[in-house]
Structure 1
């Protein structure tokens, strides 16, 4: 049969496959070398000028306002390869919107460092009517990445409670039994070989990390002080339900502690807020904490917190100077979900401003979004 042939027919399938592989590798190389806002063609031309000696510094071709962003490493990691969500009509645990406990979003109930395990240590936060202590067990203090499992539990309870209130499901139980792949999918992590071991270690740390809350208030007659003390773990008891043929954790039963279960199920409006799915892609622990703080304090508006207050609420063990440097790196990269970060001068030191990005409207949870900032840290900057 005469006539034109497809290129693949004339070259042969093997050669065509090699050409496509070479093209894909070249395109990947260009994409990795691209600067913010550059197209593939722009990158090719810049690299050619650099090779010819016309441009010694690749940043010279950028506007000045973009140079700082180039020098600052992004706070966001790339999503895993298997990050595609399930079909819309086949809901799973990871399809539940990510929720977080609103009342505890402005203090760190976990460590923000991956390296420092902080086994046996205590973090104490002074409040106007008492204090909160975070106590770590022998396995180490739970990290902000371990806390992803708590977010999953809160999200699952909230969704189940919403179904119960509309007559579409039973009252949620204190326990739920996720598979390790469900946890990895919900938290937007790769489903690699170490994932099961990492999840089991995270559960050990969450179980061993206790939150002690001490509140003091005057009695009705004002003659004495009433002291209320509660202490519970970040999760309740857990047990392994099944393992794989190689002995790895497959599914686990996790019990919600009383304080979380009560928070979600007891009130008419559960005190939780929706968290952006890209929260799980935030790489630095401080970046995650800053996002949580912005989500609670700013909501759909703006808010300002002093660097010093954020430092005190983060439980950081580093110096305040180093902490400020890390915040400024986040401001320079400025790629956290939903909020833009800005530094302003305050009466008693620098302020971090949270500004809701234009055109974004978060899901409403039935929770009023006032300006619930710390008592001495109002949005006006007074007291900071």
Structure 2
């Protein structure tokens, strides 16, 4: 019955219902009047970041690709962008649980990260390892889940479940990609890779009673998926179920630890550039952080040589056009260091 309350969690995004309609009306009115202050602020930050890098990117390739046609149009369906990082998953967010290469599929491979309290191991199936671009779909689901949970905690909506069912056009818009047939078909492969890339971790912790225990657990990046195609054979809707640990961190934690992601993150072209931004967002925040090139290489899971990795790092440093952060190379006692500094740290 339409008037009945759901008996359990509902799909992610469905709880936003009337709220999204309200946002559409407000966005349209604000766009007509030219008074959308948040958009102006975002554009100022983007313009400033790009202007600061405009001189150096002429000598090297830019890290930021051009946005697709129509990208500047207001899209009411997109909540603020979020990235997940909690105490339980902090070590995972400091390593790449996906491949950073567009060409090397890394099918059937395993990446193992040795950490101070255990390890993280990423393994892929025959379809290939999920890429950092595939993970954009997970970011979209996390964004909508966080938005829905915020409203639920405020008593303004129902509690969302783990299932997320967006229209393909909305996914491409969110990820700032072109709305073409190939891009839609690629999302099917994205779902397969996310579902067959497994993340296992073993970590040693101190229990409440003081005993030291070792916990081993693992799960795919998404638990399941379903693709609904139209009569033309093109994907129309995608349905994914978030991994249980991701859902629990946002839906069951009292103070979920989420980080906003700059809209231009989705325009970062090199996978290593995306990895650097995520690491800077986690470690530097609004200040700065410093990492050795060797540690960055080890945590990136790169399949290339350290020499090639350093070459790419220096190109990204020279372009210096990543959103929010400036990058500098410094000399260290055991090798080169990278300084990641928020652009507003000294302002």
Question: TM-score, with normalisation over the residues of structure 2?
Answer: 0.80
Q: Retained in 2: the 8 A contact 1:158–1:264?
A: yes
C-alpha distance in 2 between matches for 1:315 and 1:66: 30
Q: Partner of 2:179 in structure 1?
A: 191
Instruction: Report the structure number with the largest CA radius of gyration.
Output: 1
Q: Distance in 2 between matches of 1:183 and 1:140?
A: 21
Given the two structures, how large is their TM-score scaled by the length of structure 1? 0.72
2:287–2:345 CA contact under 8 A, matched in 1: no
- Write out per-residue CA displacement over residues 214-268 of structure 1, whole angstroms, 9 at most, x where no aligned residue: 112467888x86321111010111112x322211110021111101001111111
Name 2:225's counterpart in structure 1. 238
Measure the CA separation in 2 of the matches of 1:105 and 1:294: 11
CA deviation string 1:114-162 (max 9, x = no partner): 1100001000011111100001011000000001001111111111111
Correspondence 1:324 to 2:328: no
Higher relative contact order (CA 8 A, sep 6+): 2
Deviation for aligned residue 1:84: 3.0
Distance, in Å, in 2 between the alignment partners of 1:151 and 1:85 is 21
Q: Is 1:214 the counterpart of 2:202 in the alignment?
A: yes
- Structure 1 residue 196: Cα displacement: 1.8
CA contact (8 A) 1:175 1:256 kept: yes
The question of whether the paired residues in 1 share the 8 Å contact of 2:286 and 2:345 is answered with no
Q: Is the 8 A contact 2:80 2:143 kept in 1?
A: yes
2:296 is equivalent to residue 310 of structure 1: yes
- Corresponding residue SS for 1:236: strand
Shift of 1:96: 1.1
The alpha-carbon distance between structure 1 residues 75 and 220, as it changes in their structure 2 partners (threshold 3 A), is: closer
Is the aligned partner of 1:144 residue 2:137?
Answer: no
Q: In the alignment, what sits opposite 2:216?
A: 229
The correspondence for 1:100, drawn from 76, 79, 83, is 83
Cα distance in 1, alignment partners of residues 170 and 346 from structure 2: 28
Distance of 2:60 and 2:257 partners within structure 1: 36
Unaligned runs of 5+ in 2: 1-49
Give the corresponding residue for 1:163: 151
Distance 2:330 2:340 in 1: 11
In 2, the alpha carbon distance for the partners of 1:122 and 1:66 equals 39
Q: Distance in 2 between matches of 1:204 and 1:257?
A: 14
CA shift in 2, pair 1:86/1:327, >3 Å: same
Residue matched to 1:255? 241
Contact 2:101 2:271 in 1 (8 A): yes
Is there any run of 5+ residues in structure 1 with no aligned partner, and where?
A: 1-35, 38-64, 362-384
Deviations 1:321-367 (A, max 9, x none): 11111100001100000000001111111110011113899xxxxxx
Q: Distance in 2 between matches of 1:76 and 1:279?
A: 8
Give the aligned length.
292
The alignment partner of 2:329 has SS state of strand
Equivalent in 78, 95, 98 of residue 110 of structure 1: 98
- Whole-angstrom distance in 2 between the partners of 1:124 and 1:219: 25
More strand by share: 2
What is the deviation of 1:101?
Answer: 1.6
